[in-house]
Amino acid sequence: MRLIVGLGNPGNRYNFTRHNAGFLALDYYFKIYKKNWKDKPSLGAIMGRIDDDIFIKPQDFYNESGRVVANYVRFYRINLSDVLVICDNFDLEFGLVRYRASGSAGGNNGLKSIDVALGTSEYSRIRIGTGNDELRKQMGDVDFVLSKFTSQEKEQLPEVLVETLHRIDEWRQ
């Protein structure tokens, strides 16, 4: 059994924002594989399953996702080597998708929260590049991560989601 976590913020207000790239990636994954999410949150997350793998979208806010991830790891007795977290990264150019088997939070507060809750950073992660330096300078970091994608980025988003889907599939094999 493996745990795949998409990071984001709950609520319609945050749909299609940069910080919800993890939610968006998992929603796309479920759409392609014709799977449904459970309507009622369990252990603090919206959950779905594909085969023996558990997919979750924590319903705590992004920067506090660690508690929910730790709940799932403990409840299902999941090895940390079987945990994959998908998050945005504004330091990566928009559209780049990067996989690492482990590593630092690199300034990502959602990953920092998970590191603290699990007591380690030894879990896999996929970072989805949401960077747009010009827009980020105009808005500042907080407003930037909560901003919607530009029209040009929206056009490129399907390619990014397909790449993320492939990375998830590679990890699941």
Residue 144's pLDDT is: 94
| Helix axes of 66-75 and 109-118: crossing angle, nearest 10 degrees | 40
For the chain, what's the residue count?
Answer: 173
- Report pLDDT for 39: 76
Give the relative orientation of helices 21-32 and 151-172 as an angle to the nearest 10 degrees: 70
Give the pTM.
0.95
The pLDDT assigned to 145 comes to 92
- Active site residue ranges: 19
**Per-residue pLDDT, 40:** 80
Q: What is the pLDDT of residue 12?
A: 93
* Amino acid 41: pLDDT: 81
pLDDT digits (tens, 9 = 90+) for 123-147: 999 999 999 999 999 999 999 999 9
Dist. CA 103–CA 55, nearest whole Å: 21
What's the pLDDT score for residue 42? 84
Task: Return the minimum-mean-pLDDT range out of 38-42, 50-54, 137-141, 148-152.
Answer: 38-42
Q: Which fold has domain 3-172?
A: Rossmann fold (3.40.50)
List of residues 6+ apart from 116 with CB closer than 8 A: 66
What are the residues facing 114 on neighbouring strands? none
Which DSSP string corresponds to the chain? --EEEE---SSGGGTTBGGGHHHHHHHHHHHHTT----SS-BTTEEEEEETTEEEEEESS-GGGTHHHHHHHHHHTT--GGGEEEEEEEEEEETT-EEEESS---TT-HHHHHHHHHHT---SEEEEEEEE-HHHHHHH-HHHHHTSBPPHHHHHHHHHHHHHHHHHHHHHH-
Q: How confident is the model at residue 84 (pLDDT cuts 50, 70, 90)?
A: very high
Residue 70 has pLDDT above 90, yes or no: yes
Express each pLDDT in 26-42 by its tens digit.
Answer: 999 999 999 999 878 88
Average pLDDT over the chain reads 95
Burial label for 22, CB within 10 Å (0-12, 13-18, 19+), is: buried
